[in-house]
Chain A
Amino acid sequence: MRSEMSDKPLVHVENLKKHFPIRRGIIFQRQVGAVQAVDGVSFDIHRGETMGLVGESGCGKSTTGRTMLRLYPPTAGSVLFGGKDIFKSNGRDLLAIRRQAQMIFQDPYASLNPRWTVNAIVGEPLWVHGLAKGRAQTERVQELLKLVGLNPMYINRYPHEFSGGQRQRIGVARALASDPEFIICDEPISALDVSIQAQVVNLLEDLQDKLGLTYLFIAHDLSMVRHICDRVAVMYLGKIVELAPKDELYNNPLHPYAQALLSAVPVPDPKAERKRQRIILTGDVPSPVNPPSGCHFHTRCPIAQSVCSEQEPEWRDPTVSGGHWVACHLAQ
């Protein structure tokens, strides 16, 4: 783990829920159900740490990230950032928090305004937070471009003039503009080619060392998460099923879903591949509108017993070494 960790977490997420209502009717709309995208998620992130949040599409990992910063209004729960509750803050307080907590998005083609120049895109946080204007803004933007490995001469270009990897660098520069402490990276590399992925990951690691950043790294690429993160949380259908330091999780996964997920990832090594035992899960992820009773995973779990469909498993740490949390009745 990285050095400057203190006991008090920088971010504390408690029982976070986000349900999207499903409405029927044309004039008199009534709610007929809810997509329970995030259904009671709790975790801490320490200063200087990289926390990984992994899971398959639709498990609620991106919604968790977006709701944490109130890009979606939360349904329930609280998120403390440096001791302040983001969900209870308004106006000036919220603006101050948002200056400290930024986000990098997945799709560098959709997340940059095509009609704005790089100067406007990267400079926007500067004028929103009143940090720099006019010439000072331009200079700061050029400095940021240099920091992320782009030529400062590109300041008056538009997003379409850049490749995917370069656009993602612009997204990183924009996130860094307000000098934040905490950045949520929402699948920042999944739209990029392999050789470009490594460039962006190395950039994120360098910036963390240089600026002492704290990351929440949301991804579905489990190999990359093992490389970049300190601790990793695995999500399934709106809930965290396992959370542990990365080597502990990857070497000794306790939850049957985490075991299956890790065994499904192919390894670029033919000899290791021939020896690997895969746990092939049957079926698809159930709908989050009507998630299964008890443990959400029991419909696909290879070791499920009757208790799994009846009771929701408690969140516990069964290990001797500690710090390895799992939500499973049967994990030991």
Chain B
Amino acid sequence: MPTILQVQNLQTRFKTYDGLVYAVNGISYDLNEGETLGVVGESGCGKSVSMLSIMGLIPQPPGQIAGGQALYHGSDLLKKSDAEMRHIRGKEVAMVFQDPMTSLNPVLTIGFQISEALQLHMAMNADQARHRTIELLEMVGMSQADRAFDNYPHQFSGGMRQRAMIAMAIACMPQILIADEPTTALDVTIQAQIVELVKRLRDEIGMAIIWITHDLGIIAGLAQRVIVMYAGFIVEHASVDEVYDNPRHPYTISLLGALPRVDMSREERLTSIPGLPPNLIGLPKGCPFAPRCRFVVDRCRQENPPLIAVAPNHEIACWVNVQTGDLR
């Protein structure tokens, strides 16, 4: 499959009163056409910031993109002007956010907010846009779509609002959909509805998806490849089966050990990861996970391991071979 997005050495920082926050520290990955890439990590690991950086949605200052490239069809998104980005955002690359209530404008109707994008990007007139919007609302499973067009966000439930957000995101048939924890605020039965919907739309439209989440369960059923992030670094990158069957980075191993399963009984204790995620002010010396790692060796505290391939389609950033205990 041809590569559609190529992110290289992306670095994002924020100036704060306490010092420079190193939110994203040189991450690189590719996204292929029609593929679903899962990005997993805990809060503050840089997963959202890395996506916002690509979309040009980081306020500068206090933020700064300190380096890197994001090549979309060969042209660097990070070098584009605001005006150029406005033609790409929503049309070529669309985003769905976590909280549908704060990302919809409460004083405008759902229909207006969706058709606005169509009039702007697709040069439709008001009638065409209205017609198309109602089609989109039907596509995302909104009942009585023509009535929903004139309703305001507060008249919908959380699941319905997220459907409206998805309708807005796919309005211009984007090539890439970035979904930033779109189901975290929803109940599990509604989450299942939204995941099914996105899978169906992915097959219908053929868009590539980057799905950001902290829930390793959702990614297992949705993504083909998974990136695990910690403290602004990619620590593991592999195909979905590899990550779950054969995790190799100590962080991924602990994270999977911390998860109970609904489909089988598990009597043993959960593996808890001691300590706290690091404070991102200042770059860590050595591996950022070293203070919490079970397998830590001296070298981990001195040098940050680079992301290297350890098997086909499997990269990790760790000095220790966890299976044998040897150093790399």
Contacts and interface: CB of A to CB of B under 8 A. Distances in A.
Contact size range, A: 35 or more
Interface stretch (B128-136, B261-269, B309-317): B261-269
A268 B191 contact: no
B269 A202 contact: yes
B254 interface: yes
Given A194-B255, A284-B160, A163 B196 contact: no
B196 A265 contact: no
A267 interface: yes
Given A205-B269, A223-B261, A195 B189 contact: no
A226 B260 contact: yes
B117 to A, nearest CB: 26
B190 interface: yes
A263 B196 CA distance: 13
A56 B42 contact: no
Interface centre among B143, B221, B240, B271, by most A CB within 10 Å?
Answer: B221
A199 B272 contact: yes
A196 B258 CA distance: 9
Nearest to A260: B189
A193 B262 contact: no
B187 A57 contact: yes
Interface in B227-280: 240-241, 244-245, 254-263, 265-266, 269-274, 276-277
Contacts of B43: 193
Contacts, number: 127
Given A56-B188, A227-B266, A284-B159, A195 B193 contact: no
B272 A195 contact: yes
A220 interface: yes
Contacts of B192: 263-264, 278, 280-281
A223 to B, nearest CB: 4
Interface string A217-257: 00010111011000000000000000000110010000000
B157 interface: yes
Given A198-B270, A264-B191, A278-B196, A270 B221 contact: yes
Contacts of A280: 189, 192-193, 196
Interface in B177-198: 187-193, 195-196
A272 B262 CA distance: 11
Given A163-B276, A267-B220, A194 B269 contact: no
Contacts of B160: 284
B261 A270 contact: no
Interface residues of B, number: 46
Contacts of B195: 266
A265 B220 CA distance: 12
A250 B262 contact: yes
Given A266-B218, A278-B196, A284-B160, A220 B260 contact: no
B217 A165 contact: no
Contact of B189 (A267, A268, A270, A281): A281
Contacts of A271: 241, 245
Interface string B185-215: 0011111110110000000000000000011
A276 B192 CA distance: 12
B244 A226 contact: no
Contact of B42 (A194, A227, A278): A194
Nearest to B265: A247
B260 A194 contact: no
10 contacts: A193-B42, A194-B214, A195-B255, A223-B261, A224-B260, A227-B270, A266-B217, A268-B216, A270-B220, A270-B244
Counting from the closest, the 9 A-B pairs by CB-CB distance are: A266-B217, A273-B221, A227-B260, A264-B192, A198-B258, A195-B273, A198-B272, A56-B187, A198-B270
